[in-house]
Structure 1
Amino acid sequence: MRTAYQYRLRLSKSQEAEIERWLDMLRHQYNYLLADRFNWYEQNRCSINSCPLICHLPELRNNPDYFSQKRTLPQLKKDRHWYKTIHANVLQDCVKRVDLAFKRYLKGDCNGKKSGRPRFKGKNRYKSLTFSAFSKNPIQGKKLNLPKFGWVKMVYHRPIPDGFKIKTATVTRKADGYYVTLSLQDDIVPSVIPIEQVSNPIGIDMGLKSFLIKSDGTEVPIPQYYRKAQKRLKRIQKTVSRSKKGSNNRKKVVTKLGKAHKKVADTRKDFHFKTAKGLLDSHDLIAHEKLNIKGLARTKMAKSIFDAGWGQFLSILSSKAENAGLITKAVNPKNTSQNCSSCGTKVPKKLKDRIHSCPHCGYKVDRDVNAAINILNLAVGHPVGSKAFRVSEPVGGVGKKPTLNL
């Protein structure tokens, strides 16, 4: 099992200067390796199936890949001795990033989706570096020992559990300072509870009026952190646009803008973690829709959808459930809002219709609660409207808490 803990670093002035020097050297090396990839690719490809009789013959050499570029690092340290101060694993991670970016450009990811052409890193655009080799006890008190860099102070607010081993440490520069993300590994895999032994399942329907509504009728209100901070962000952004490019005043305002955006992101993420913990503390199985968030983000509701952060929340929920041995299940959302959760009859509704009222059986409930119950029915393997897993509620009982008959 892999997990990640993040801590804030308290670096001295000299340590901050050294980290910035490392990042700048890694940025130059990244751009050099990426240019080497592009040079070979442009000189050795041909858009047609045959070459002209008169053409430029490039220097014959193998296609640069991860291993061939990694073998150039010893010579790099001889030619440019200042690179000797950087740990070897940090330089190798730089080569790995180039390889990953170029492969996604040519071949795509595991789903075959290709990324855009990799761009060269401008000043202050290379923001992180990764260590992957540590001593037996890299943490002593509130200090972390980074290989070939030394001991650094950190806000050790969350102790690492016994049995967890530090695999990598990524130091990242953010708007309000430096952070380290420790990737931890534990060989103990938690046993997942069998679905037959699930005692308290729940279905949730994600929304924009409320963040989520449970199948038992309760809801979690949506905080809208970005909407509330939008006025202040707009004011700071206007100050940035009026500042002269390259001036110290502009740099200060850009830092202020970055801190304001980070505060919105951090408060949203904290809300997601607390909401996920509340669900997992009360329920063994959580069913949710398999949302096409990228498709929804192309609509007029894009700002509200990004502000809600459904993708981040569902990712946190799935990760935390896996670590706890609980179950999260994504189901196809087709017709979950239209079908009646009591009898299974399809009741067409427009988006403005917020109450589900079935003319066939008379079942009346909030539209989102009806959808949450249908999601739960699909997750446990029952068809929508199955009598074996239906909601017991009097006809016309709007707002009452339904009960599940297992």
Structure 2
Amino acid sequence: MRAAYQYRLRLTKQQTIELERWLEMLRCQYNYLLADRFSWYEQNRCAINACPLVCHLPELRDNPDYYYQKRTLPQLKKNRPWYGEIHAHVLQDCVKRVDLVFKRYLKGDCNGKRSGRPRFKGKGRYRSLTFPSLGKNPVDGNSLKLPKFGWVKMVYHRPIPDGFKVKTAIITRKPDGFYVTLSIQDDTVPEVIPVDKVSNPIGIDMGLKSFLIKSDGTEVEIPKYYRKAQKRLKKIQKAVSRSQKGSNNRKKAVIKLGKAHKKVADTRKDFHFKTAKGLLDNHDLVAHEKLSIKGLAKTRMAKSVLDAGWGQFLLILSTKAEKAGLLTVAVNPRNTSQNCSNCGKKVPKKLKDRIHSCPYCGYVEDRDVNAAKNILNLAVGHPVSSKACRATKPLGGVGKKPALSR
């Protein structure tokens, strides 16, 4: 099992200057390797049968793939000795990043989805470097030993659990300073509880009126962190736009704007972690919709959808559940709001209709609670009996409707 712990670094002034220098050198090397890839691709992508009878093609050369560019690093250190100050594994990771973005541009990822054309990184745009391997016992109290860089101090706010080994370290520059993300590994694999042995499952329906509504009728209010911070962000953004490019005032305003955006992101992430913990502390199975967030982010509700951060929350929920040996099940959201959770019949309704009223069995419930129950039934494979799910059956058609449970 692998986990990632992030700590804030307390660097000296000299260490900060050195780290900034490393990032700038890696940025230049990244741009050079990417340009080499583009140069080869433009000269060699033409098919043989598409060439004219008389053409002036340059002399073809081997494809500068990952291993080819990796073999150029020793010569780089000879031609530019200052690159010898950077650890070899950090330089190799720079080559790996170029290879990854170029392959995704040409072939796509594991699902065949291609990304856009890779862009060259401007000054200050290369923000992280990776140490793929660390020495033995790299953490000593609140200090971390980085190969060829030395000991650095960090805010050791939570200890690494016993039995875990530190495998890699990623140094990231953020608006308020440098952070290190330690990837730790343990050979033990947690046992996941089978679906047929769950004792307290729950279904959740994500929304914009409430962040989520459980199948038992309880709900979690949506915080709207970005909406609340919009006025302040607009004021800082105006200061950035009005300042002259390249001036110190603009740099200060950009840093202030970055810190404001980071505060919104951090508070949202903290809310997601606490909400996920509250669900997993009380339930051993959490069923949710398999949402197409990229599609929803292209609609008129894009700002509210991205402010809610459903994708980040569901990722945190599944990761924490896996580590605890619990279950999260993603189900197809098709007709979960339309079908009746009591009898299974389809009851068409528009988005403005917030109450589910079944004309077949007389079951009345809040629309989102009904959807959450449908999600839970799909995840478990059978209707989950509870007092809230019982409804009075009509006599010869539509009968009396029970009172709302909320």
TM range (shorter): over 0.9
Quote how far apart the aligned CAs of 1:387 are.
Answer: 8.3
> 2:396 maps to which residue?
none
| CA displacement, residues 154-185 of structure 1 (integer Å, 9 cap, x when unaligned) | 00001111111111100000011100011111
| CA displacement, residues 120-147 of structure 1 (integer Å, 9 cap, x when unaligned) | 1110000000002212110111000000
Q: How does 1:18-37 map to 2 (within 5 A)?
A: 18-37=18-37
> 1:110 maps to which residue?
110
Gaps of 5+ in 1: 402-406
Counterpart Cα distance in 1 of 2:404 and 2:21: 61
Quote how far apart the aligned CAs of 1:253 are.
Answer: 0.3
Counterpart Cα distance in 1 of 2:363 and 2:109: 46
| CA displacement, residues 13-59 of structure 1 (integer Å, 9 cap, x when unaligned) | 10000000000000010011111111111111216733112222323
Contact residue 364 and residue 402 of structure 2 kept, 8 A? yes
State the one-letter code of the partner of 2:186: D
Quote how far apart the aligned CAs of 1:391 are.
Answer: 5.1
State the one-letter code of the partner of 1:283: H
Gaps of 5+ in 2: 393-400
Contact residue 192 and residue 322 of structure 1 kept, 8 A? yes
Contact residue 7 and residue 155 of structure 1 kept, 8 A? yes
Percent identity of equivalent pairs: 78
> 2:186 maps to which residue?
186
Q: Does 1:83 align with 2:83?
A: yes
Quote how far apart the aligned CAs of 1:84 are.
Answer: 0.7
> 1:315 maps to which residue?
315
Contact residue 342 and residue 391 of structure 1 kept, 8 A? no
Normalising by the residue count of structure 1, what TM-score does the alignment of the two structures yield?
A: 0.95
Quote how far apart the aligned CAs of 1:297 are.
Answer: 1.0
> 1:243 maps to which residue?
243
Q: How does 1:64-103 map to 2 (within 5 A)?
A: 64-103=64-103
Contact residue 211 and residue 219 of structure 2 kept, 8 A? yes
| CA displacement, residues 336-366 of structure 1 (integer Å, 9 cap, x when unaligned) | 1011111112111111111111111111111
Contact residue 33 and residue 95 of structure 1 kept, 8 A? yes
Quote how far apart the aligned CAs of 1:112 are.
Answer: 0.4
Counterpart Cα distance in 1 of 2:99 and 2:111: 18
Q: 1:49 aligns to what SS in structure 2?
A: helix
> 1:400 maps to which residue?
405
Change (3 A) 1:57 1:197: same
| CA displacement, residues 201-238 of structure 1 (integer Å, 9 cap, x when unaligned) | 00000000000000000000000000000000001111
> 1:371 maps to which residue?
371
State the one-letter code of the partner of 2:183: S
Quote how far apart the aligned CAs of 1:397 are.
Answer: 4.4
Change (3 A) 1:335 1:145: same
> 2:395 maps to which residue?
none
RMSD: 1.4
Counterpart Cα distance in 2 of 1:322 and 1:49: 53
Contact residue 214 and residue 372 of structure 2 kept, 8 A? yes
Contact residue 3 and residue 185 of structure 2 kept, 8 A? yes
Quote how far apart the aligned CAs of 1:399 are.
Answer: 4.5
Contact residue 366 and residue 398 of structure 1 kept, 8 A? no
Normalising by the residue count of structure 2, what TM-score does the alignment of the two structures yield?
A: 0.95
Larger displacement relative to structure 2 (239-248 or 387-396):
387-396
Counterpart Cα distance in 2 of 1:92 and 1:190: 33
Q: How does 1:7-406 map to 2 (within 5 A)?
A: 7-46=7-46, 49-382=49-382, 386=383, 392-395=389-392, 396-400=401-405
